[in-house]
Structure 1
Amino acid sequence: DFFKVNDYLFDGNSTFGVSGITTMVKADTKVASVSAASILAKVSRDRVMVEQSKIYPEYGFEKHKGYGTKAHIEAISQNGYTPIHRRSFKIKLHKME
């Protein structure tokens, strides 16, 4: 084959307990393929959040894309969590209260 993948490179410092993973802090600033993957992931996530804003218009996902902005936190305070909110985001919000 022209290209074989023998290892995976993750940006950060955790393998999440999975073998065959190499980690590198700030890999998205040091490795072109990781930079490209990061951009593609962000664009994909942003598109998903725009679609989710049609289902949950009261949260303004099309504006903040799920980041913990003041408007997003206020929307959660007024409307509660949606099924698409990450559990880790919920924990962070509880720490803020």
Structure 2
Amino acid sequence: MEQYFEWDEAKNRKNQKKHDVSFETASLVFEDPLRISIQDRHTDGEERWQTIGRVKGVLMLLVAHTIFDEDGFEIIRIISARQVTKAERDKYEHG
């Protein structure tokens, strides 16, 4: 299934100022074959997820997002992104 990404541009700018990570960069986490995704919670009827992965094998990020299907396409809506904590890095590296 093909993946597409969407986000709120105002949130993207706010995230860049707060965490120095753009949602464009965050979307690259989904190219990491070793990424891990954990269901976070339900908010307003949506399942929220956290995905931890590497961007181009170097930068490790946690991306909060939702996933939904639309006309046979997987749409990933990015909510926030930041560098991982030590505990999150350990979870990625050691399972």
| Fold equivalence (TM over 0.5) | no
Alignment TM-score, normalising by the size of structure 1: 0.27
Report which of the two has the higher share of strand. Answer: 2
Alignment TM-score, normalising by the size of structure 2: 0.28
Instruction: Kindly name which structure, 1 or 2, has the bigger radius of gyration based on alpha carbons.
Output: 1
Report which of the two has the higher share of helix. Answer: 1
